[in-house]
Amino acid sequence: MINSSAGDRPAIEVRGLRVSRGGRPVLHGLDLTVPRGSVTGLLGPSGCGKTTLLRAVVGVQRTEGGEVSVLGLPAGSAALRSRVGYVTQSPSVYGDLTVAQNLRYFARVLGAPQDDPARVVAEVGLDGREHDLVARLSGGQRARVSLAAALLGTPELLVLDEPTVGLDPLLRQELWALFHRLAAAGTTFLVSSHVMDEAARCTRLLLMRDGRLLAEDSPQGLLERTGAVDVEDAFLALVGEAAR
């Protein structure tokens, strides 16, 4: 179980977050929280600002205003580097190294135990591919290597930008089961997706559109609020409300 001196304080707190790119507003004063130990889904159509928000959470996005607190510290603080794992949409591992070489390298950078690469290889379903060059793997397999690297050590927060894109249904199911096992032990997840059927796999949802937050609720709470039969219909109902 992961312990923290921050007590019951949320893993992520965002207040009044504003981001512009090329003079065009991308995020419009977002306010949200992500509870500790939750699997929080960040859902919305492509281009709505999900990746920008995730970049702000991990401290690599230039912002115009607002505050982002992560595990009780300002986003991007040096003390968070070993406490937060981040997986980008594009695989962030070295193509000219093998799976094992990549993971040994990142384990040394993070100060993770020497046997950690073997553990994360098994967790993401890459057994038997340890000695394959990453450049020769499929897109889905490269994404799994990136996820394995993020799992090294004992990160308290995992920020995953569309981690299941390009993966087969069985592996997607296995990864979501892994997320929930880790969350039960105290790890917090913020997972973005534009696939609405993944909403049911989350304990909490953040629904975004055009750089604004439409809803922040549990899947069941969202359905009860809108009277919809699924999250996709709930999203459409909320879009209709916002347009009125």
Beta strands in the chain (DSSP E): 12-21, 24-34, 39-43, 65-70, 73-74, 84-87, 157-161, 188-193, 204-209, 212-217
Reading the chain (244 residues) residue by residue, the pLDDT tens digits are 444 444 578 999 999 999 999 889 999 999 999 999 999 999 998 899 999 999 999 999 999 999 999 999 999 999 998 899 999 988 789 999 999 999 999 999 988 999 999 999 998 889 999 999 999 998 888 888 998 999 999 899 999 999 887 778 888 888 898 899 999 999 999 999 888 888 889 999 999 999 999 999 999 999 999 999 998 899 889 988 876 6
Q: Is 66:78 a contact under the CB 8 Å cutoff? A: no
Please tell me the CATH superfamily of domain 36-59+79-243, with its number. P-loop containing nucleotide triphosphate hydrolases (3.40.50.300)
Strands 188-193 and 157-161: parallel
Tell me the pLDDT tens digit for each residue of 36-66: 999 999 999 889 999 999 999 999 999 999 9
- Asked if 27 contacts 39 with a C-beta cutoff of 8 angstroms, the reply is no
Q: Which amino acid is at 243?
A: A
CB-hemisphere CA count at 13 Å for 17? Answer: 30
